[in-house]
Structure 1
């Protein structure tokens, strides 16, 4: 009898606990019940002048075109052309339940995000679109921008004629012959989930993925590789990229070796890069600073003039689309998409409105032998571990001899002495 009474007591306690749990669940479900289908202030997104979108399209566009261009990073003509290109990819159908967000507004809020790096919550109050909706709109629109522009504005040259034009531009503008592009890497900072640990932690002290790019003499991106974790060096990123195998196999149809200008010295066409990359018959990098002769310093200076084009391109890109200057609080795949979209827009705006997009870019003052945007190689840590071919060393020596003779520019000696190349 006592045993039965104990069992009944336990069952009674369990029953009370279950009843309390059910009551709590019902209470919490009542509290979670939505007060609105859509918040009233969001329903008024197309009413009045409280929405930034209306301010931009009804006031700035008509009264202050410069502010309009600063807000979206492009003028109205470029915006409308971009809208026509991506419209079919981002347009949504309206339903009986709700009106879809227009193509123009989707594109506008995405461009503003790329231009500033504002949080979704901040853009939510400005555009009267919920942050959860923006988290779907912005990445999908960035993907649409990249997919729509890549074939026309991010196409890698694949014929001898196209590469020859790139080479002529480098020689005309930067006095470096047989050059097919400047190559370098840029770290894109983002907030990494804890599950990744230190996988993306780089030598600069933050988490990042690497943007590897080849740039022509006019700051346009010719090749992009985005997504390698920041722990890998630029040379390692290159070795693991498609570009490495394409260059080794000559799948990009580089022009055959040609004489350096006004000489009988035959030299292949090359990419210029910094010391982090391997020396290769198709990749030229500076001589080591240790025991560098005066002639080698001249070569390093001439190489740096061509190589800094890619540094300038990264600077232009990040200052026009300042989301790349912030810590992006999104997943890795979305950071990749955002970076690719920004690069595609960079090339698009250079081709459509080069004079306005590249206005204010500072260059070398060769008459006074100074740099408005220059740098010295002194103090840079030498990169070791890349074995180079004898043929690559011979090619670099030929170029060194060329820059110290017939290929010399009048101001190079003063610059070499002043900036210690």
Structure 2
């Protein structure tokens, strides 16, 4: 064969071309009857149904599609009759994340081959992270930490708090030849997601990929975040000239560091320390709420993810960045209001604290934590109505209060 014309006219090349044009399974040849082509345009006419289907508003979906369109667009040829558009790829990926459906189920619904579904999901979640991360989860700066600390003080009354940290086990299918590396204390296989959240339940930083058998403390010690804590600077406590470092708050699984606070042990608890634990726990619930919001929206996290661990890492990072993008565009969930707690069994009702003035801050570990506030407690079971007005001696008043109300806490 001396010319290109003779080469392309050869029987071998013609067979390859013919195989390419007939390589689609008969069930998938008419993709126009698939879920995307028959449902997507109609869904956009009903915003509430669209939100339920994609887990986001139409405006948020359009924004994300614009961001990743160039990453998902292919150089098409005339061999492809009905090319898979970036919009269809994003819809398919969102349905995978939102429902946890298998690649096989999605292939039947969208009339796309199973292997193609896998490639599309991997391509899309990677594009989501690469395109959205610089804006919606940037590397924390000094100005950003200062703003987060101000929000924690305004919303949760915890000073100099730069974030709440915790870990979450992401269920996975047991990787081959992995032994017990991914088997955790809850008796299932997992990789560990370590997240840091701000006061609005948005992720500041995440690290995913730790072995399931590791504890939260072990994952923390092996993380890049731990090595970055030495860069945290000092600043004045709100309304004070006392300089203290910005701190992160975690649970008992984390070590006590100058820049990482954990609750006091129950073995050495007293009234003041119990009060500190309650304040720390109230600030730390931001990361707990972030995990719960993310899990309730993206149901893939309810079941073992049936892919290799490296693919799981990319999927989890995409879910986290979608979580942040939705909060940035649609607003944060309403988890910032203290609620009244009641107990019908003993007939008691504890009203939330009304902070009226704050002269200084925490008793421990910051300095002197002096509060002026009023707290009303009504105990209907014993027909007693008592009002405690704390006006200066915080320690003694709080100790008396806890001794009287120990049953209710």
Q: Counterparts of 1:222 and 1:84 in 2: how far apart (Å)?
A: 24
Return the match for 1:199 from 181, 189, 199. 181
Which of 364, 388, 408 is 2:338 aligned to? Answer: 364
Matches within 5 A, 1:291-330: 291-330=268-307
Q: Is the 8 A contact 1:56 1:68 kept in 2?
A: no
Where does 1:102-251 land on structure 2 (aligned, <5 Å)?
102-159=85-142, 161-248=143-230, 250=231
1:127-176 Cα distance to aligned partner (Å, 9 max, x none):
111111111110111011000011000113222x2211100100000010
Which range is displaced more, 272-281 or 53-62? 53-62
**3-state SS of 1:245 partner:** helix
Match in the other structure for 1:61: 44
Specify which structure has the higher proportion of strand.
2
Match of 2:268, SS state, is coil
Q: Distance in 2 between matches of 1:55 and 1:418?
A: 60
- Residue 398 (str. 1) matches residue 380 (str. 2): no
Deviation larger for 325-334 or 410-419: 410-419
- 1:407 and 1:281, CA in 2 relative to 1: closer, same or farther beyond 3 A? farther
User: Contact 2:28–2:113 at 8 Å: present in 1 too?
Assistant: yes
C-alpha distance after superposition, 1:41-82 (max 9, x if no partner) = 311112xxx4221343221211x2101111011122111111
Displacement of 1:279 in angstroms is: 0.5
Shift in CA distance, 201/265, structure 1 to aligned 2, threshold 3 Å: same
1:185–1:108 distance in 2 versus 1, CA, 3 Å: same
> Could you tell me how far apart the structure 2 residues matched to 1:44 and 1:399 are?
67
The 3 A distance-change label for structure 1 pair 416 and 240 is farther
Aligned twin of 1:267: 244
5+ residue gaps in structure 2? 1-18, 344-361, 377-397
**Structure having the higher Rg:** 1
CA contact (8 A) 2:21 2:79 kept: no
C-alpha distance in 1, partners of 2:405/2:121? 47
Deviation of the 1:124 alpha carbon? 1.0
Pair 1:354–1:219, CA change in 2 (3 A): same
Distance 2:318 2:20 in 1: 36
Alignment partners' CA distance in 2, 1:55 and 1:127: 10
Taking structure 1 as the reference length, the TM-score comes to 0.77
SS of equivalent to 1:257: strand
Of 65, 69, 78 in structure 2, the residue corresponding to residue 96 of structure 1 is 78
Alignment partners' CA distance in 2, 1:282 and 1:86: 37
Q: 1:210 to 1:45 in 2, by over 3 A?
A: same
Distance 1:300 1:400 in 2: 15
Assess, with a 3 A threshold, how the Cα gap between structure 1 residues 418 and 362 changes in structure 2: closer, same or farther: farther
Q: Which residues in structure 2 correspond to 1:348-363 (within 5 Å)?
A: 348-354=325-331, 358=333, 361=335, 363=337
Give the equivalent residue in structure 2 for 1:24. none
Instruction: Decide whether the 8 Å contact of 2:175 with 2:309 is kept in 1.
Output: no
CA distance in 1, matches of 2:108, 2:408: 50
Structure with bigger RCO (C-alpha 8 Å, 6+ apart)? 1
Unaligned runs of 5+ in 1: 1-32, 372-394
Structure (1 or 2) with the greater helix fraction:
1
Aligned to 1:39: 25
2:3 corresponds in structure 1 to none
Q: CA RMSD in A?
A: 2.6
**CA, structure 1 residues 140+287, in 2 after alignment: closer, same or farther (shift >3 Å)?**
same
Separation of aligned partners in 2, 1:34 and 1:98: 10
- Secondary structure of 1:301's aligned partner: helix
> Contact 2:272 / 2:363 at 8 angstroms: preserved in 1?
no
Alignment length, in residue pairs? 348
**TM-superposed deviation, 1:396:** 7.9
Bigger Cα displacement from structure 2, 264-273 vs 320-329? 264-273
